[in-house]
């Protein structure tokens, strides 16, 4: 094939992909869900306007929310009633509840295998729910109860962060489950620390490259190399004077929020101790700076294009929106009582409020 014909075909292919992407964008909308742990509702935010466009009631002590791959349902981990609440994404009404073995913490959808994974905190199990039948199809024993659970970008692995401080430095803090077999493949120790939120850096094919994991009582995060299956570094923000730090109400969760931008260009970290969010470039982990946001920043989520970072603010009962390029706060959105976990949802226009 000559160069001219090759360039013509490449141009046509590129144009087709751009048009397809534009059409896909026109057929869907993005919503940010902010759960309110001290209340019984969750707020739905439109990131195009940074305003609340709906409130979901009857989801008390919701630990986290995810959505069905086709956008029909939201799933809330209900710590109060020990169940998963299924919410219609259009009407925002609870349609049914899926009973669990015990109190859930974070949950995650694996799109490729059509399964919902729910971490059980007070007993050492990971429960697997079929997304068609809404039935628990497997209960996987783990080393300790689970605080947070994630899926890798390629949907090949489920990563569970355990919610109890290990008795020894060699005991696992993270356990990794094969999403095909639903069996534990390997475990990772974090030098005796219990893990808080995590974020996953991906290779171009979607496979995991590194896990960034917050340890309890530590202002920073472990860097876990996927191939080596161990922590290879610990990264902290520059220390602040004690007079600028906040020790009120942080318990042992000194840091409590991590997010890798969708294009894998940066990592963001929320420090409750410092009342700031910080960023590092990827893959080099070069420190880029911090933004003072106010008392007790918690979870982080971003828009699909990575342009805006959303920070839940327990101390001020709001969600802060930050421009990830300018590092400026562009909105403060009033929400409910005790806002903690937040999440990003891409929904068909017909299914969204």
pLDDT of residue 353: 85
Q: What whole-number distance in Å separates Cα of residue 163 and Cα of residue 327? A: 32
- Beta bridge partners of residue 338, listed in sequence order: none
pLDDT of residue 251: 67
Residues of the chain above pLDDT 70, percent = 92
**94-99: strand order across its sheet:** 62-67, 73-78, 83-88, 94-99
Is 20 a residue whose pLDDT tops 50?
no
pLDDT in tens, 33-42: 999 999 999 9
More confident of the two residues 254 and 110: 110
Q: What whole-number distance in Å separates Cα of residue 311 and Cα of residue 314? A: 10
pLDDT of residue 209: 98
pLDDT of residue 212: 98
- Beta bridge partners of residue 261, listed in sequence order: none
Handedness of CA 44, 146, 140, 157 (dihedral sign): positive
Report H helices in the chain: 3-26
Handedness of CA 336, 339, 341, 343 (dihedral sign): positive
- Beta bridge partners of residue 77, listed in sequence order: 84
Domain of residue 169: give its range.
Answer: 3-351
**286-292: strand order across its sheet:** 255-260, 266-271, 276-281, 286-292
CA atoms within 13 A on the CB side of 95: 12
- Average pLDDT of span 58-62: 96
Q: How many residues does the chain have?
A: 353
pLDDT of residue 249: 63
Q: What whole-number distance in Å separates Cα of residue 43 and Cα of residue 339? A: 9
Is 56 a residue whose pLDDT tops 80?
yes
pLDDT of residue 255: 86
Q: What whole-number distance in Å separates Cα of residue 306 and Cα of residue 321? A: 12
More confident of the two residues 4 and 299: 299
Enclosing H/E stretch for 282: none
Confidence of residue 341 (pLDDT cuts 50, 70, 90): very high
CA distances from 221 to 15, 123, 244, 251, 346 (A): 41, 26, 21, 17, 28
pLDDT in tens, 126-183: 999 999 999 999 999 999 999 999 999 999 999 999 999 999 999 999 999 999 999 9
CA atoms within 13 A on the CB side of 131: 21
Is 228 a residue whose pLDDT tops 60?
yes
DSSP assignment, residue 351? G
Q: Which CATH number is 190's domain given? A: 2.130.10.10
Mean of all residue pLDDT scores within the chain? 92
Work out how many domains the chain is built from and give that number. 1
- Residues 247-255: contacts with CB under 8 Å, at least 24 apart: 247/273, 248/295, 249/295, 249/296, 249/314, 249/315, 250/296, 252/194, 252/216, 252/217, 253/196, 253/214, 253/216, 254/216, 254/217, 254/218, 254/219, 255/196, 255/214, 255/218, 255/219, 255/220, 255/221
pLDDT of residue 315: 86
pLDDT in tens, 263-308: 999 999 999 999 999 999 999 999 999 999 998 899 999 999 999 9
Residues of the chain above pLDDT 90, percent = 85
The CA angle 42-112-213, to the nearest 5 degrees, is 60
């Amino acid at each position: 094939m000559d160069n001219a014909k090759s360039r013509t075909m490449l141009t046509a292919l590129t144009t087709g992909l751009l048009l397809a992407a534009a059409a896909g964008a026109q057929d869907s909308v993005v919503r940010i869900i902010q759960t309110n742990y001290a209340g019984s509702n969750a707020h739905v935010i439109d990131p195009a306007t940074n305003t609340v466009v709906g409130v979901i009631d009857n989801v008390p002590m919701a630990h986290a929310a995810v959505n069905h791959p086709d956008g029909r349902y939201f799933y809330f981990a209900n710590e109060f009633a020990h169940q998963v609440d299924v919410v219609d994404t259009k009407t925002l009404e609870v349609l049914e509840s899926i009973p669990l073995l015990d109190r859930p913490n974070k949950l995650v959808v694996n799109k490729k295998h059509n399964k919902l994974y729910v971490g059980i905190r007070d007993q050492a199990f990971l429960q697997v729910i079929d997304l068609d039948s809404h039935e628990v199809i497997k209960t996987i024993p783990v080393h300790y109860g689970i605080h947070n659970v994630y899926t890798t970008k390629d949907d090949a692995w489920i990563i569970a962060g355990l919610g109890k401080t290990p008795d020894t430095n060699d005991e696992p803090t993270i356990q990794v489950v094969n999403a095909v077999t639903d069996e534990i493949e390997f475990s990772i120790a974090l030098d005796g620390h219990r893990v808080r939120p995590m974020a996953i850096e991906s290779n171009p094919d979607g496979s995991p490259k590194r896990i960034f994991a917050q340890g309890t009582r530590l202002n920073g995060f472990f860097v876990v190399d996927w191939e080596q299956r161990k922590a290879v570094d610990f990264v902290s923000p520059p220390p602040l004077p004690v007079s600028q730090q906040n020790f009120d109400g942080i318990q042992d969760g000194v840091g409590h929020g991590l997010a890798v931008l969708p294009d894998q260009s940066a990592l963001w970290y929320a420090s409750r101790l410092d009342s700031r969010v910080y960023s590092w470039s990827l893959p080099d982990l070069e420190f880029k700076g911090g933004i003072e946001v106010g008392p007790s920043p918690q979870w982080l989520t971003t828009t699909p294009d990575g342009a805006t970072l959303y920070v839940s603010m327990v101390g001020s009962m709001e969600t802060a929106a930050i421009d990830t390029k300018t590092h400026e706060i562009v909105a403060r959105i009033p929400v409910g009582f005790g806002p903690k976990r937040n999440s990003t949802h891409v929904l068909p226009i017909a299914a969204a409020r």
